[in-house]
Each structure stands twice: as structure tokens, then as C-alpha cells.
């Protein structure tokens, strides 16, 4: 009888431990796969010499970084999640700056701008979802990332679609037309 009780006690301890190992191993393998994907996409991003190529490479890299951030958050590593998200923000801003230096009109030649705007919009949605999962005291630094990303998103939208009511470029064009008519 004592042996049966001892085996049951050992079983109660072993099963949860075994369950944690079974669930953590796929998570570790998945995390390793995502880390490998980030390394591959980052190498592709870094190897791009043209601004449009960098903007396009940022799309895949951003997706992988957000997957890694969610996995880090699920594992309880908020700092690591923040670092992945901050890396994405820096890369997106750098890609946008490089596109702006080309001096092309995004409305007429949207290649690169369009892909970057779509990536930023998707990332902004995911970042807001992540912020909603965090305790209030940890949200502040993530909200700063959200503000920066939102500002970049709005800037890209206005560059791609400048003919929106209330937009400064549109107001300047109307003012110039009125001035030239008189």
C-alpha cells in the first residue's frame, strides 16, 4: 500500500513536469526557427544597397521580429519583446529615410513606399495588440514605440495619397492656383 501511494505521489510530480517539458520543447524549437528566420531576413535587409530593396526586405523582417516579440512576451520576457519591436521601428524609420533621399514622388512612384506603409500598418496593429496584453506599468515604453510608428504610418499615407482634404500640400496647391489666376 505504501508503495502505491509513493508511486502516485511520484506520478503527480512527474506528469506536470513532463507536460511542461513537452510544451516547452516545441516553443524552444519554434523560437529557434524564428531566430533563424530573423537572422536570414536581417542579412537580406542589410545586403540590400537600394532603398526600395531595403523597404521590401523590411516587410519580411518585420513580420519575423513581431513573431519573436510575441513569443518573448509569452515566455514572460518583456525586455526582449521590447528590443525586437524597437529594432523594427528603427529599421522602418531608416528605410523610410532612405526612400525619401531618393527624391521621388511617392504618389507617382510608390514602389517601396507602398510596401513599407503596409508593413508599418500591420506592425502598428500588432503592437497595439501587444500593448493591450501588458500590465499598465509596462505599457509606457511600448506606447512610445506606438506613437513613433503611428507618426511614420501617417507620414507614409500622406506621401502616398497627398490629395486629401485638409492636407498641407493640397492647401498649398489651391493657394498657388488662386495666386496664379489673379
If one compares 10 and 50, the residue with the highest pLDDT of the two is 50
Read off the pLDDT of each residue in 122-130 and give the average, rounded to a whole number: 95
Q: Rounded to 5, what percent of the chain is helix, strand, coil?
A: 85, 0, 15
Q: Are 72 and 87 in contact (CB under 8 A)?
A: no
Q: What is the pLDDT of residue 164?
A: 74
Q: What pLDDT is recorded for position 12?
A: 46
Q: What percent of the chain has pLDDT over 90?
A: 51
DSSP code string of 33-92: HHHHHHHHHHHHHHH--SHHHHHHHHHHHHHHHHHHHHHHHHTT-HHHHHHHHHHHHHHH
* Degrees to nearest 5, angle at CA 88 with 83 and 90: 95
pTM above 0.85, yes or no: no
Interhelix angle 78-101/113-133, nearest 10 degrees: 160
Residues 34, 65: Cα–Cα separation, whole Å: 8
Cα separation of the two ends of the chain = 106
- Residue pair 92/119 in contact by the 8 Å Cβ criterion: yes
Contact 102/51 with Cβ under 8 angstroms? yes
Quick one: pLDDT band at residue 35, thresholds 50, 70, 90?
confident
Across the chain, mean pLDDT equals 80
pLDDT of residue 48: 87
Per-residue confidence at 167, pLDDT binned at 50, 70, 90? low
Is the pLDDT confidence value at 182 over 80? no
Amino acid at each position: 500500500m505504501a508503495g502505491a501511494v509513493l508511486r502516485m505521489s511520484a506520478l503527480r510530480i512527474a506528469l506536470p513536469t513532463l507536460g511542461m517539458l513537452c510544451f516547452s520543447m516545441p516553443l524552444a524549437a519554434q523560437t529557434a526557427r524564428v531566430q533563424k528566420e530573423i537572422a536570414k531576413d536581417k542579412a537580406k535587409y542589410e545586403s540590400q544597397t537600394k532603398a526600395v530593396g531595403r523597404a521590401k526586405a523590411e516587410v519580411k523582417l518585420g513580420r519575423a521580429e513581431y513573431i519573436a516579440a510575441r513569443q518573448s512576451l509569452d515566455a514572460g520576457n518583456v525586455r526582449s519583446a521590447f528590443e525586437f519591436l524597437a529594432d523594427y521601428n528603427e529599421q522602418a524609420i531608416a528605410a523610410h529615410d532612405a526612400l525619401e533621399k531618393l527624391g521621388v514622388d511617392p504618389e507617382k512612384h510608390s514602389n517601396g513606399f507602398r510596401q513599407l506603409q503596409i508593413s508599418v500598418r500591420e506592425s502598428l496593429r500588432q503592437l497595439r495588440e501587444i500593448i493591450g496584453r501588458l500590465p499598465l506599468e509596462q505599457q509606457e515604453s511600448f506606447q512610445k514605440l506606438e506613437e513613433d510608428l503611428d507618426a511614420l504610418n501617417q507620414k507614409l499615407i500622406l506621401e502616398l495619397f497627398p490629395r486629401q482634404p485638409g492636407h498641407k500640400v493640397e492647401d498649398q496647391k489651391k493657394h498657388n492656383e488662386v495666386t496664379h489666376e489673379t
